[in-house]
Amino acid sequence: MSTDRSDPTLAYTLPVQLTQTIHRSVPKELQPEDEANSQKGKIIVITGGGTGIGAAAANVWVRAGAEGVVITGRRQSRLDDTAKELKNVNNGNTTVLPIAADVTEEEDMQHVYDEIKQIFGRGPDVVLANAAAAMSSGSSAEHAISEWWKAFEINMLGLHNTVATWIKSQAEPKNPVGTVILVSSAMEGMVFPGFSSYSISKLAGHRYMDYLGEEYRQLRTFTLLPGIVKTDMSDPAIVDFAKDEAEQTGAMALYLASPRADYLKGSLTSINWDISEMEARKDDIEKGMLKINWIPVLPVSGGSGI
């Protein structure tokens, strides 16, 4: 739906809005009950799947009829509670598997993929790398160094553990296949004093996805902005602007997991952007419009200098 740009709650959305149409709820074309969005036969792993955006994404994929929805997180009790809640929307065709795992621990993530193979007989088709950590605001040097670095341990090391162990678990690790979606943040693209650790670690994750797509050309890699959703991680300063639905990330993942989204491989997208308008600019997007461009004015990026 089109949203009135004079709406004050769009203050943090408009600066990163690509399309004229702004979506702050799941659009009709991405409803998981629509047969066009069916995920029958697919297995998805959702890190940070016990709460917030991750749990909402699991709900969407169960409703879309996925063969398996695997949710991971550090608290088994929270995962079990979410799995029970998913029974209310499960039509019986989806196996929901809650596995406690710390994304920063390689052994934990290896255990996740071993369990998936044991239960389903094969690995996952889609990885939604959603686990993340924010930190309290404050200038960089005001935090203990170990506290400042913690965001990197989860947002960057956790991402690498999640993806690398998935690749290594495949039949042909040198030629892995499947879809991996990083749930990032618009903070990666701006300097917002007080949030250096979170912002920089998210930007690093985005660049990691660029490398992943270039090193493993058969993988389908995407970086996704989840909008502004009220969760346990939300900073009090943005709660009044948190009008996006938690389910939008899972719904956009339905689209990204389909061949229809191949033109977006290796690119950034957002739950707020309109699919039809993006598809109308396929040529520009395939040329790199939505990729990180390092100082475009320099020859290395196709420029000619000042």
Whether residue 298 is predicted with pLDDT greater than 70 in this model: the reply is no
> Percentage of the chain surpassing pLDDT 70?
93
Q: How confident is the prediction for the chain on average, in pLDDT?
A: 92
Task: Report the pLDDT averaged over residues 15-27.
Answer: 94
pLDDT at 294: 61
Q: Which residue would you say has higher pLDDT here, 20 or 190?
A: 20
Count Cβ neighbours within 10 Å for each residue of 151-177 and write b for 16 or more, e otherwise: bbebbbbbbbbbbebbbebbeeeeebe
Distance, CA of 244 to CA of 138 (rounded, Å): 26
Q: Which residue would you say has higher pLDDT here, 167 or 240?
A: 167
Q: How confident is the model at residue 19 (pLDDT cuts 50, 70, 90)?
A: very high
What's the pLDDT tens digit per position in 41-88?
A: 999 999 999 999 999 999 999 999 999 999 999 999 999 999 999 999
CA atoms within 13 A on the CB side of 142: 9
Domains and CATH numbers, the chain: 8-301 (3.40.50.720)
What's the pLDDT tens digit per position in 157-208?
A: 999 999 999 999 999 999 999 999 999 999 888 888 888 999 999 999 999 9
Residue 147 near residue 159 (C-beta atoms within 8 A): no
Q: How confident is the model at residue 300 (pLDDT cuts 50, 70, 90)?
A: low
Residue 71 near residue 130 (C-beta atoms within 8 A): no
Strand 95-100 relative to strand 68-73, pairing: parallel
pLDDT at 190: 84
Q: Is the pTM of this model over 0.85?
A: yes
Task: Report the pLDDT averaged over residues 231-238.
Answer: 70
pLDDT at 81: 97
Whether residue 1 is predicted with pLDDT greater than 60 in this model: the reply is no
